[in-house]
Structure 1
Amino acid sequence: MQSFRQFPAVATILIKLGLVGCTSTAEDHLEDLLDGSVEHEQVKHEFLLARERAVGPLLDAFDDHRFAPVRGQLVEILFSLSMRLDDTRLSDALSEHLTSDPDPDVRALIAENAVLYNRVDMAAAFLQALEDEAPLVRQHALAGLAAMESRLDSAQQHTLAVRSRELLQDSSAGVRLEAQTRTAAIVAKWQAQATQLQLQAMLSEAEDLHRRAIEYARGSKQAYYGLGWFLCETDRHEQGFELLRDHGLLLNVPRIQEAPVIDGRLDDGAWATAARADSLYKFFWESPAWLEPDGIVSHFLATHTAQTLYIGFHGHDDHPDSLVAKIIEPLNPTDDGQSNDGFWSDDIIELMLDTDLDRKSFIHMGINSRGVRADQFNFMGPDGPYDDRATYAAQVEVGAHIGEDFWSLEIAFPFDQRHMSRPQAGQVWGFNLVRNFRGQEYLQWVRTYGSGLQPQHFGFLRFP
């Protein structure tokens, strides 16, 4: 075996550990990091047992080029040790390396572990890392700051808000996603504060917060939705509906004289003047951001006669032969699909209609590419829309069609049936449409939060 004189850095580290001359395995604890002869967890365990005695040697090793191949392991060990020791040497060194280490992979790994361990003491380094040239470092830094936002001081929160908005234009898709999530969360926070002010009859202050959200997140449908509905609730209906319509959150449903033939093809002339929405957005449990899907193109149409509402759907699909349709036979009219495993993960659309706009109860209907449907009527309770779900069978006519690169549906809802009274001129319904793609992506016309069945977040249909 070569002597320590040939490797002075290693000798120094072992001496600091107090291991040289004490046991025959002392040298192995560090050498094992280089040759991988011992499981990483076992090596880490040895250093954690050494506690304070391990800090200096590990930091020396982290700066020693000989240990470059195992710096990733050293990062994990240093963070694990820092959770057991109140030693500022660890946080200072990790913060310094986060902002100045020459290796972007190491900087990214430090940022990732700091997020994992929720290291608020590294907030200043995180803010500096938002300027890092490596996209992954910026992404992890933004995620970390978001997780610790409530514990940041006011100046740090302001910096985070400003940089989040700026990073919406970042060259990295991952950074943009984090920035969209962060700005959406900031908008949601202000909207929640505005709601509390509204409940206290502090309407001017509430409106200021809604307008602040719009000014902060220009183009945010989430922000415009909040102000639009606030205007409606404060008896400025026309102003609110106009704002919602201008930002694609409300459709004026035109009246036609002749009804379309319901065959699913959408080629009837009656659809020519229908209201149309071209954008559906991804639903994420973990993010309130409005994100367009990659390559999944859809649109829907809405029109009506004096007797019936008509909804048309067109979904582009490069491989319609792969459409998922596990249920191909009509369900019992009172079957809500819960007894048929898999229906709700078919390629389906879901329609939600809150016809009295109470934002608490609504029709929920799923229709797959074969035209098979399941109906529900949901009541919102304290635990969500599943609190009082009633069996419901709507009077509906459905036409389905599968083309070379798409599938389409036409749905006719006669008025004057249970839960669907004939709308009066100017009446507004709550409405949303969802496309479930291969049971893997859930795309919504208007984003909801918490789940897809949230009538207080639905879009709107207006009958002129």
Structure 2
Amino acid sequence: MLDRSPRLPRDRTAGSQQPGRYGVGFPPCLLRRSGATRNPPRPRRRRRSTENPALGRYRPHAARRRSDDLRRSLPHTRSLGDRRAAALPIPQPRASDRRRMGGDRADVRRAVGRKSSGLLAAGDTKAIHVLNARHRRRPHRRILACASLDRIADWLILPVRLEPSDAMRYLLYGTLSAILLAACGDPVDDHIDDLMEGGEAREQAFMDLLFARSYAVPPLLAALADADLPPRGRADVATVLWKIYLRDNDERIIGPLLDHLDDPEARVRRAVAWGLREMGKPDLIPEILDRLEAETNEETQLELLRAMEALDGWDVAWEQSAGNFAVQGGGNLTPEDHERFAHITRDVYAAASHDSLRQQAGEFLERFAVRYVMAAQQHILKADIGSAEQSLLQALDLKPDSIGLLLRLGKLYYLNGQQQKGLDLLEAHGLLLRIPRLSRAPAIDGDLSDPVWSEALKIDQFYKSATLMRPIPTDSRTEAFIGYRDNQIYFGVVNHEESTQGLSIEYRAHDSPVWRDDCIELFFDTNMDQRSFYQLVANAAGATFDLQKDSPSRDDAPGWDGEMDVAARIEPTYWTVEKAIAVASMDGLEIQPGDVWGFNLVRARIGLAAEHCQWLPTYGFTHRPDLFGLLTFD
């Protein structure tokens, strides 16, 4: 009676350590992925009713079944269970089957001795017969092939369902191959040696170890702990380990990595910090914070700060309902640890000489300071100016050079009875512009070669409008000139580019959305209420747009038309805009010396770059009069 039991799932992983359908693990170099043969496909024929489909192409005519008791007695089938063990047929190839395999012997000849894995799945019937037919007279070829494999478990023969003679023969081959492999050495150790030596073999060894299985973890941990090995190689080992953890979630790796946060070598500590960041486990934050407090290497400090940012969820998000930015993060820290982290970061920032470290630490300090700013705003709403001042001073204690904090403190003084103190503070830090009175009005023709522009105030420091909480200087160069005369404000702006070919100039009508082009935007908060403002825009073609925020018309609608004369000019490597703005069009205002307005200037680069350049950064949203700087008229 032929075996028509259900076919077991087939292990299609080349070089698997688990036994295949017949409980036999075959060497990857002798196995071939199912269906991947170099021989042309043979015509399919109808299966005879006496053939067993569970045996694939090679169907012995007398596949016998042993009793269940005998199957359960086999040591390698006990773990399969009664049902799965009962489904294991005994292959008995006949002479005609071996003749039919003649074409496949060529495939085996080409595969023998190769290092590449991935022929048939382990335990496939076809491989059993090919081994029978191929290696009966030349077993040394089997040994040579097995010597190139990675692990004994990948090819060790488990004689579960073979005939006694086959079992003894394969067991003998496996024993001889194991001896030969032991003499050749463990490939994992060889890969680790290549990592330590560096050179051309390092990259390949790194990739081989990344694809290694769990058996590679103990030797890798031993190499990481060996202080006599080169620091660069041990750092590579740490990187391999945390990447293996991401793949396999092997808990054996976390403890040793944490121990090596205190490694004597900075390169190893840096690699471990990088790995802890990628692991994404917030419960590692206390160990990282302890290491950050003791760390002296700046590159390692940078990685530790990045790990804190990733694991504690630090970010800045715009809240539309509040019209402001909110700092997110710090939820995995206790109030004591939060305060401790802030002071550690302040010390790192003060001592940093590395630009990237200073920027990362500065960003953290700005985020810490936002909490004090929010407290100050609550005090201002309650008319508690003294408490608001104390909150801002606490924020400045964390980051004394913060443009945003100095601006808020200066405005707090100016708007609450200490005008001169506020103006002095703002001017000392470049946050107040003194606009000179010009001897005559310049010609508005787009040409800034008129000598009168030399009397104007020049601005050439601009920052990016980014959601980061620290000011970032722009990549482009912009020069702005400002002056006033006879109730007119004059602006001339030179916008430098490597080439002006490609400028965005889509709109040419008044009050069209010219802010979508390369343009210059001016903002005036004339009543210093830090809510309403005027916006005047001109693009590279001289088209204009104007807006009064919080006017009788609808918000953000162009319901107000200001009086201004605009001219623009485009040259090969720069373009210019000149504006003459009639102040009387702003609700009948008249310029008086000593008047103070809120002000900001923005250059939008659209066609050649995606960049908004601001005199004072408003951190991602330009319509924020509370972050405008100040100007006063001499």
Change (3 A) 1:237 1:55: same
Instruction: Give the Å deviation of 1:289.
Output: 0.8
Change (3 A) 1:388 1:402: same
Change (3 A) 1:29 1:68: farther
Equivalent of residue 522 in structure 2, options 329, 351, 376: 351
Question: Whose RCO is larger (CA < 8 A, sep 6+)?
Answer: 1
Question: Is residue 111–residue 126 contact of structure 1 (8 Å, CA) maintained in 2?
Answer: no
Paired with 2:441 and 2:611, the residues of 1 have a C-alpha distance of: 33
Question: Is residue 514–residue 539 contact of structure 2 (8 Å, CA) maintained in 1?
Answer: no
Confirm or deny that 1:443 pairs with 2:443.
no
Name 2:539's counterpart in structure 1: 368
Change (3 A) 1:281 1:168: farther
Equivalent of residue 566 in structure 2, options 393, 398, 403: 398
Change (3 A) 1:103 1:457: closer
Paired with 1:213 and 1:141, the residues of 2 have a C-alpha distance of: 23
Segments of 5+ residues of structure 2 without an aligned counterpart are 1-142, 161-173, 175-180, 193-203, 313-329
Show CA shifts across 1:356-396 (max 9, x none).
3332233333333343334344459xxxxxx9320254322
Name 1:284's counterpart in structure 2: 466
Show CA shifts across 1:158-194 (max 9, x none).
3543444543553322212102212222232222222
Name 1:124's counterpart in structure 2: 287
Change (3 A) 1:92 1:74: closer
Paired with 2:531 and 2:472, the residues of 1 have a C-alpha distance of: 26
Name 2:627's counterpart in structure 1: 457
Change (3 A) 1:323 1:420: farther
Question: Is residue 369–residue 400 contact of structure 1 (8 Å, CA) maintained in 2?
Answer: yes
Paired with 2:159 and 2:390, the residues of 1 have a C-alpha distance of: 70
Question: Is residue 396–residue 414 contact of structure 1 (8 Å, CA) maintained in 2?
Answer: yes
Instruction: Give the Å deviation of 1:58.
Output: 7.4
Show CA shifts across 1:122-163 (max 9, x none).
433344247657654322211233453443342563354344
Question: Is residue 263–residue 400 contact of structure 1 (8 Å, CA) maintained in 2?
Answer: yes
Confirm or deny that 1:152 pairs with 2:314.
no
Question: Is residue 541–residue 568 contact of structure 2 (8 Å, CA) maintained in 1?
Answer: yes
Question: Is residue 248–residue 277 contact of structure 1 (8 Å, CA) maintained in 2?
Answer: no
Paired with 1:20 and 1:214, the residues of 2 have a C-alpha distance of: 72
Paired with 1:73 and 1:143, the residues of 2 have a C-alpha distance of: 20
Equivalent of residue 251 in structure 1, options 430, 433, 451: 433
Name 2:445's counterpart in structure 1: 263
Question: Is residue 378–residue 388 contact of structure 1 (8 Å, CA) maintained in 2?
Answer: yes
Name 2:352's counterpart in structure 1: 170
Segments of 5+ residues of structure 1 without an aligned counterpart are 48-52, 381-386
Name 2:305's counterpart in structure 1: 142
TM-score normalized with structure 2 length: 0.57
Name 1:236's counterpart in structure 2: 418
Paired with 1:238 and 1:68, the residues of 2 have a C-alpha distance of: 57
Structure 2 residue identity aligned to 1:327: I
Equivalent pairs, count: 426
Instruction: Give the Å deviation of 1:228.
Output: 0.5
Instruction: Give the Å deviation of 1:36.
Output: 8.5
Question: SS in structure 1 opposite 2:510?
Answer: coil
Paired with 1:211 and 1:126, the residues of 2 have a C-alpha distance of: 26
Q: Please give the residue correspondences for 1:62-461 in structure 2 after superposition, counting only pairs within 5 Å.
A: 71-79=238-246, 90-100=253-263, 102=265, 104=267, 107-116=269-278, 117=280, 119-129=282-292, 135-146=298-309, 148=312, 149-153=330-334, 154-155=336-337, 157-167=339-349, 169-256=351-438, 258-285=440-467, 287-294=468-475, 296-317=476-497, 319=498, 321-322=499-500, 324-327=502-505, 331-337=508-514, 343-344=516-517, 346=518, 348-379=519-550, 388-392=555-559, 393-402=561-570, 406-417=574-585, 421-437=589-605, 438-461=608-631
Change (3 A) 1:156 1:288: closer
Question: SS in structure 1 opposite 2:542?
Answer: coil
TM-score normalized with structure 1 length: 0.75
Give the CA RMSD over aligned residues.
4.4
- For the pair shown, the structure with the greater C-alpha radius of gyration is 2
Change (3 A) 1:118 1:201: farther
Change (3 A) 1:248 1:391: same
Question: SS in structure 2 opposite 1:244?
Answer: helix
Show CA shifts across 1:78-120 (max 9, x none).
25666xx8x6x6543222223317472x544432343341534
Structure 2 residue identity aligned to 1:111: A
Paired with 1:29 and 1:453, the residues of 2 have a C-alpha distance of: 63
Question: Is residue 307–residue 414 contact of structure 1 (8 Å, CA) maintained in 2?
Answer: yes
Question: Is residue 494–residue 576 contact of structure 2 (8 Å, CA) maintained in 1?
Answer: yes
Which has the higher mean CA deviation after the structures are superposed, 264-273 or 126-135? 126-135
Change (3 A) 1:370 1:98: farther
Show CA shifts across 1:207-246 (max 9, x none).
1222233344233322211210111232222221222222
Structure 2 residue identity aligned to 1:445: W
Instruction: Give the Å deviation of 1:280.
Output: 0.8
Question: Is residue 170–residue 176 contact of structure 1 (8 Å, CA) maintained in 2?
Answer: yes
Paired with 2:582 and 2:421, the residues of 1 have a C-alpha distance of: 30
Structure 1 residue identity aligned to 2:305: L
Paired with 1:360 and 1:449, the residues of 2 have a C-alpha distance of: 17
Instruction: Give the Å deviation of 1:436.
Output: 2.9
Instruction: Give the Å deviation of 1:20.
Output: 12
Structure 2 residue identity aligned to 1:192: M
Paired with 1:439 and 1:281, the residues of 2 have a C-alpha distance of: 15
